């Protein structure tokens, strides 16, 4: 067997010199001693054995790239080495358009875990859910893949198919689902009326323009009629740009802290403040969250909860309380490194804990109980009038309102409960104003 030796001192010097190519922020970390030569010797020996003894020849640049990937994978699920394709994917996600399945994913126990499907994507249409585990991509087991490798397999030409084997908590056997890749255009924000006076704004992802888009949606609703209450839906929102979450929360606050971050680097300790004016004029607000609400979504929910500005409803959020910084290494490669933890205004870290809703409402299939036909006083022959000259007949408007409420109850019980709560807040508000008068 042909062997060669490496000069460990030269290797240590080379690695030390290599650190000079990293961004200046990394150099702010206080040096706690020299490079560990014993560990460097071990690295050099392993590198040597793989280089000369692995069953297939692998070039040095590929081996070093694998070493970098492994180093970052050992830190936490969100620190990754971004190759050219991965760096481009990150930029695409931030801009709001890419080709793929429409999944926000992370790694857990060596498998790819779905954080949330993107609204309107092939994954959402197929019924994939937050918490599902991807066990196989086609016939390839996911176990042993890096997150970037799994994402590369899921990406592909528009119109091409891929079969996923899914494990769902609480269900016995894994199941297969075939998805057709498509161009994913993430509509960051959309709005509509739930009922006259009660608005709804859905934020699917926090992109660079999300703050201004939510502001425009709010203005559009308020321009049409008086806004008695608003639902801000952050369910299955995987997060995104931190600054966008600050902008969104600030639209509903009269100043104050939205979030602060702390890390080892001096420039990691940041405080983010809301603007002084509440753009919604104090409109009663319910924020909907679930286990697919992560990162920037949790910043918004936590800030509005701590400032007692909104009622947070739904189920406990995902619990991603860390901040990732993109550190470019070149025009095509970068490191996404966890550099800080973030805290809500009251100093809560939600890392691995999540935001607990003020009112717990599980997602459920609910149908209104019809029962047997009701007999009321108005149905009795010869009944007296009510004395106010009002008819007991239902108007078409009341019937339409009841039908819409029944449909909302059966299609989205959490949203139904949010709307009901807003109505109750308004009833109490009107009674208080009358008593004050």
- Residue 233: is its pLDDT beyond 90? yes
In a domain, 282, yes or no: yes
Number of domains composing the chain: 3
Residue 102: count other Cβ atoms within 10 Å of its Cβ: 26
Q: For position 228, which CATH number holds?
A: 3.90.226.10
- The mean pLDDT value for 1-17 works out to 44
d(CA 220, CA 340): 36
User: End of a domain among 164, 184, 204?
Assistant: 184
- High-pLDDT (> 70) share of the chain, %: 86
Report pTM: 0.77
Average pLDDT, the chain: 86
* 341 lies in the same domain as 235: yes
Q: Which helix or strand (DSSP H or E) is residue 68 part of? A: helix 60-73
* 278 lies in the same domain as 342: yes
In a domain, 105, yes or no: yes
- Which residues pair with residue 136 across a beta bridge? 141, 165
> Kind of pairing, strands 198-203 and 229-233?
parallel
Query: Which pLDDT does position 393 carry in this prediction?
Result: 55
Identify the three-state secondary structure at position 293.
Answer: coil
Cβ 298 vs Cβ 318: under 8 Å:
yes
Residue closest to 312 by CA, chosen among 334, 327, 297, 330: 297
In a domain, 420, yes or no: no
User: End of a domain among 320, 339, 360?
Assistant: 360
In a domain, 417, yes or no: no
What are 166-193's pLDDT values in tens digits? 999 888 899 999 999 998 876 789 999 9
* 151 lies in the same domain as 58: no
The torsion angles phi and psi of 161, rounded to 5 degrees, stand at -100, 155
- The mean pLDDT value for 346-353 works out to 97
**Higher-confidence residue: 86 or 380?**
380
User: End of a domain among 360, 379, 406?
Assistant: 360
Q: Which residues, including other chains, have CB under 8 Å from residue 318's CB and lie 6 or more apart?
A: 115, 130, 238, 291, 292, 293, 294, 295, 298, 354
Query: Which pLDDT does position 391 carry in this prediction?
Result: 59
- The mean pLDDT value for 190-205 works out to 94
* 258 lies in the same domain as 338: yes
* 230 lies in the same domain as 335: yes
In a domain, 46, yes or no: yes
**Higher-confidence residue: 201 or 387?**
201
- Residue 11: is its pLDDT beyond 80? no
- Residue 89: is its pLDDT beyond 80? no
- Which residues pair with residue 360 across a beta bridge? 314
Q: Using CB atoms within 10 A of its CB, is residue 245 exposed (0-12), middle (13-18) or buried (19+)?
A: buried
- The mean pLDDT value for 236-257 works out to 95
- pLDDT band at residue 25 using 50, 70 and 90 as cut-offs: very low
Cβ 288 vs Cβ 316: under 8 Å:
no
In a domain, 92, yes or no: no
Please, what sign has the CA dihedral across residues 84, 89, 95, 98?
Answer: positive
- Which residues pair with residue 38 across a beta bridge? none
* 120 lies in the same domain as 150: yes
In a domain, 229, yes or no: yes
- pLDDT band at residue 16 using 50, 70 and 90 as cut-offs: very low
What are 36-84's pLDDT values in tens digits? 889 999 999 999 999 999 999 999 999 999 999 999 999 999 999 998 7
Residues marked active site are found at 295, 306, 320
Query: Which pLDDT does position 247 carry in this prediction?
Result: 98
Query: Which pLDDT does position 195 carry in this prediction?
Result: 94
- Which residues pair with residue 120 across a beta bridge? none
Query: Which pLDDT does position 108 carry in this prediction?
Result: 83
The torsion angles phi and psi of 210, rounded to 5 degrees, stand at -65, -40
* 243 lies in the same domain as 353: yes
* 221 lies in the same domain as 150: no
Query: Which pLDDT does position 24 carry in this prediction?
Result: 35
Query: Which pLDDT does position 15 carry in this prediction?
Result: 44
* 209 lies in the same domain as 152: no
Query: Which pLDDT does position 379 carry in this prediction?
Result: 82
* 41 lies in the same domain as 172: no
Query: Which pLDDT does position 17 carry in this prediction?
Result: 39
- Residue 383: is its pLDDT beyond 80? yes
Query: Which pLDDT does position 293 carry in this prediction?
Result: 95
* 132 lies in the same domain as 261: no
Query: Which pLDDT does position 26 carry in this prediction?
Result: 39
Cβ 416 vs Cβ 314: under 8 Å:
no
What are 129-163's pLDDT values in tens digits? 988 999 999 999 999 888 878 988 998 899 999 99
In a domain, 432, yes or no: no
Distance of CA 123 to the CA centre of its chain: 15
Domain of residue 178, residue span: 101-184
* 178 lies in the same domain as 292: no
What are 288-320's pLDDT values in tens digits? 999 999 999 999 999 999 999 999 999 999 999
d(CA 50, CA 44): 10
């Amino acid at each position: 067997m042909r062997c060669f030796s490496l000069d460990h001192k030269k290797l240590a010097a080379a690695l030390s010199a290599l650190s000079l190519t990293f961004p200046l922020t990394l150099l702010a970390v206080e040096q706690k001693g020299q490079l560990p030569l014993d560990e460097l010797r071990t690295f050099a020996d392993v590198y040597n054995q793989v280089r000369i003894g692995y069953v297939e020849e692998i070039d040095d640049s590929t081996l070093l790239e694998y070493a970098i990937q492994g180093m970052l994978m050992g830190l936490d699920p969100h620190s990754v080495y971004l190759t050219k394709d991965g760096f481009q994917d990150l930029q695409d996600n931030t801009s709001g358009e890419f080709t793929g399945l429409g999944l926000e994913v992370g790694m857990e126990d060596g498998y790819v875990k779905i954080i949330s499907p993107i609204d309107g994507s092939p994954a959402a249409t197929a019924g994939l859910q937050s918490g599902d585990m991807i066990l196989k991509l086609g016939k390839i087991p996911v176990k042993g893949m890096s997150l970037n490798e799994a994402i590369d397999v899921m990406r592909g030409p528009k119109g091409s198919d891929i079969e996923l084997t899914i494990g769902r908590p609480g269900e016995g056997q894994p199941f297969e689902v075939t998805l057709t890749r498509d161009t994913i255009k993430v509509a960051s924000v959309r709005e509509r009326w739930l009922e006259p006076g009660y608005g709804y704004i859905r934020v699917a992802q926090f992109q660079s323009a999300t703050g201004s888009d939510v502001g425009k949606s709010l203005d559009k609703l308020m321009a049409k009629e008086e806004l008695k209450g608003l639902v801000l839906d952050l369910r299955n929102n995987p997060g995104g740009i931190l600054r966008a979450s600050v902008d969104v929360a600030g639209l509903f606050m009269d100043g104050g802290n939205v979030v602060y971050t702390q890390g080892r680097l001096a420039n990691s300790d940041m405080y983010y403040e809301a603007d002084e004016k509440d753009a919604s004029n104090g409109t009663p607000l319910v924020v909907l969250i679930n286990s697919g609400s992560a990162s920037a979504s949790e910043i918004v929910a936590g800030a509005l909860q701590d400032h007692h500005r909104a009622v947070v409803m739904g189920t406990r959020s995902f619990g991603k309380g860390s901040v990732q910084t993109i550190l470019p290494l070149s025009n095509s490669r970068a490191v996404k490194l966890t550099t800080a933890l973030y805290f809500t205004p009251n100093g809560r870290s939600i890392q691995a804990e999540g935001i607990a809703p003020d009112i717990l409402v599980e997602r459920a299939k609910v149908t209104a109980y019809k029962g047997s036909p009701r007999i009321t006083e108005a149905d009795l022959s010869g009944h007296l009038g009510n004395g106010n000259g009002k008819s007991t007949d239902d108007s078409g408007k009341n019937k339409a309102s009841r039908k819409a409420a029944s449909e909302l109850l059966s299609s989205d019980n959490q949203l139904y409960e949010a709307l009901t709560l807003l109505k109750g807040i308004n009833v109490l508000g009107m009674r208080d104003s009358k008593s004050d008068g």
